[in-house]
Structure formats: C-alpha cells, structure tokens
A and B are shown apart, each in its own frame.
Chain A
Amino acid sequence: MCLAVPGKVVSIDHQADPLTGLIDFGGVRKQACLEYLPDVRVGEYVIVHVGFALQRLDEESARASLELFDQLGLLEEEFGDAWEQAARQEKESEVR
C-alpha cells in the first residue's frame, strides 16, 4: 500500500483552499495539499502520498539512522568478523 515519496517544499500558496504547496522531487515538481501539515515551512522535506503531504520528514532522524547503519560496520571492524563472532558464541553456548 501507500506509495509515498519524500520531497522538498519549494513554495506555499497560503491563499489556496485547501492549503497547497509546490513540492520538488529531485527535479520533478508537483503541487500537493499541505492542509495536514499547516505549519510546514519552505525548505522542509515532507512525505507525499496521492497529492497530500502526510508527514514531515525528520532530517535529524534520517541522519541518525544512516549513522547507525554505518556504526554497525564499525562495531564489526572493532570486534572482528561477525561470522567468527557468531561461531564463537555458538561454541561457547555448546561448552555450557
């Protein structure tokens, strides 16, 4: 369900009813209804589904997720290969 994509608010038409804004999806621009995010500002990212902005995209959370994924790798490098680690744990549990 629910194809929704992130886009950047380029402009807001405060006269429009319902509240409408122009959203940029990486070079593709389309009007979307902003009535459900009445305090959204130009420059913010929103998630758009069938012509409606449904939620703000929280850029801080996006960065945090990506950093978490990067750390997964770093942890691995720090503690050695994940496979070996798993094998080690398995052996330990067998010993017990």
Chain B
Amino acid sequence: MADLATPDTAVDPANWTCPAPLRDQPVVVMGHGGGGALSAELVEQVFAPAYGNPTLAALTDSAVLELGGARLAFSTDSYVVRPLFFPGGCLGDLAVNGTVNDLAMSGARPAYLSTAFVLEEGVELAVVGRIARAIGAAAQAAGVTVATGDTKVVECGHGDGVYVTTAGVGLVPDGVDIRPQRARPGDAVIVSGPIGLHGVAVMSVREGLEFGVEITSDTAPLAGLVAAVLEVTKDVHVLRDPTRGGLGASLNEIARASGTGVRLRDRAIPVPDEVANACGFLGLDPLYVANEGRLVAFVPPEHAEAVLAAMHAHPQGVGAALIGECVADHPGMVVVATGLGGTRVVDLPLGEQLPRIC
C-alpha cells in the first residue's frame, strides 16, 4: 500500500520528512524488533521490496488468501521473551495466543498451528517441557490443533534459552473484510480491556528492573471475543491486537494505513492503577506498553453500543471501553484529549520504550 510506505508525507507541508532512516543504522538494533517505527521501516524497506507481492504489501497481522474456494487467514510470528516465565504466563502461552490473535484480527476462526523450537545447548529439558505443556494447554483453550512442528539446537551462547516460532491458519467467514485500511471517519474506537498488563508484568521480573507488583500478563486467545463481536455485525472495519509498541503503535498504524486521524479521550482509556504507577516511576507511557490479550476495534458508530455490550458479555472483554473515534482531520495522526482539556499527539514510537530519568 502506497500510503503505508510513505507514512510521513501525507501531512507534510514543507517537504521536510525524516530521511530514510535505515541508512542511519547499518546494523540491526533492538528497536528493529520493538514494534515501532524501526520495525515498520525494516519491513517496508527490506522485506516488502525483496518479496514484492500485493498480499504481503497489505502489511496486516495475518494475510487473507483465496485458496481452493476458501478464504484463508495465514500468519507467523517468532517469540522471544526474557524471562521465559513471567507472572501470568510463559513463552509457550505467548507463542499460541500471539498467532491465534493475529489470525483473529482478520476475523478468522483459527484452526491449525505449527510450532518450531530453537533450543540453546544446555537448557534444562524440564524448561522445554514446561513450555511445551503450556503450548498444549493454550492451544486447547484457543480451540486450535498443533498440526506440525520442528526443533533445532544451537550452541551454548548462541541463543537465549528457547525461541519458538509458530504459524497458523484459519478460515475467514463470508462477508467479513477486516483490515487497517478500512478505518473510516466516524468509526468508534473500542479497546477490549485494561491496557499495559503484559508489558508491566514482564518488566517487573526483568533483570535489573525487578519490582513487586500484583498483576499478571493478560495473555489470552481473542478468537472467541472476535466471534462474539462478529455475531453483532460483520461490518467490523478494523481489528488489531496492540502487542509490541502498545495501543499507541497500533492506532498509528491504523491511522497511517487508512489515511484517517484518531482522537482519544485520555480518561476513557482503561489503565489499571498498578500499570499507571509502574509507568510513573519508570517514566513510561502506558499507551506504548505491550498487551497480549487485548484488541482494539474500529466499528461503524451505529454498531458501537452493541459491540461494547457483546464484549462486556465475553470473559475476554469485561473491561471493554469506548476510548475515542476515527476522524477525517489530521490524517495519519493519533491525538489525545487530556483530562485537563488540552491535547497531545501520540506519535509512533521509534523502538522499544526505555526507563527515563527526566
């Protein structure tokens, strides 16, 4: 999509956009995996041109393909997390739920997964066993079958314990067309529950940052919630699970892909106290903190109330909230109305968020 490839030009009055930034970074830096601008540029400047096909160019969470008369959603993702086990889940839960959710964001009903392990020499088999059992349990909970898999081992020091890659396929129901390009001015913007829980839970046990907090990751499969929403209306415009880069990154991607603006109300965004307070002392913005069991939906305003009600009735959507709307103004930008009555711009984060001192 052309409007994705040139994110800054839509509102550029004086021809002073950022120069092609990969030139600045001749090596891969952590930010390339952070889900922000650097990740997007890696895809747009390295992968998309090399693979060059219209399906990939849509840059959605999962590709929707016509195959043998069926509409198939297809997605893959690699999972690396440190530590491997964190409050509320582990690498195995993420590996299933992440791919299931990417499929669900096309409106698909996920059916089959593959898993591929990269194991580091020396890792305890008990650890691998715990992760495998977590994958089994998560797959059962999400209603998908792990149909195939692979294992490789790398030398000690050449991997971070365990990496898992999963791929998944699912069927997209007739009449469903959900992708970021379909956001329209007037759409209601709904988030399915409190944000920031996964990111804060993982940070709380990360070496060098440890803090005590009684919250757990929100990792969960969202296919059931999506099915419940599609019961209300098939005319859902956009679904996105705000993982790396958080809600802020997802909304920016949608705004840029659709050429619309997004306006949020600060006080309507559900941020749990512990997330707000942890972000407070680390200097992070909850809007950029990762989630693993939330989705953001753009739906036509006439369906907003019914969609919210359907979410509230589903276990994964109890905390759903209407947080703003899609607008024609400031295309490509996300703007928040602050609690005091001012406004601020929520930009696409560059890479991963870092604790700040000032």
Contact = CB atoms under 8 A, between A and B. Distances in A.
B283 A3 contact: yes
B300 to A, nearest CB: 38
Interface stretch (B74-82, B272-280, B301-309, B311-319): B272-280
A27 B274 contact: yes
A30 B214 contact: no
Chain A interface size band reads 10 to 19
A87 to B, nearest CB: 23
Nearest to A10: B212
Contact of B212 (A26, A29, A48, A50): A29
A57 B277 CA distance: 17
Nearest to B355: A3
B23 interface: no
B131 to A, nearest CB: 28
A5 interface: yes
B213 interface: yes
Given A25-B281, A27-B214, A2 B273 contact: no
Contact of A28 (B212, B283, B357, B358): B212
With a 10 A CB-CB cut-off, give which of A1, A7, A28, A49 has the most chain B CB atoms. A28
B356 interface: yes
Contacts of B358: 1-3
B356 A28 contact: no
Interface in B238-285: 273-274, 276-278, 280-281, 283
Interface of A: 1-3, 5, 7, 22, 25-30, 48-50
Please give me the 6 A-B residue pairs with the lowest Cβ-Cβ distance, nearest first.
Answer: A29-B212, A26-B277, A1-B358, A30-B211, A27-B274, A28-B278
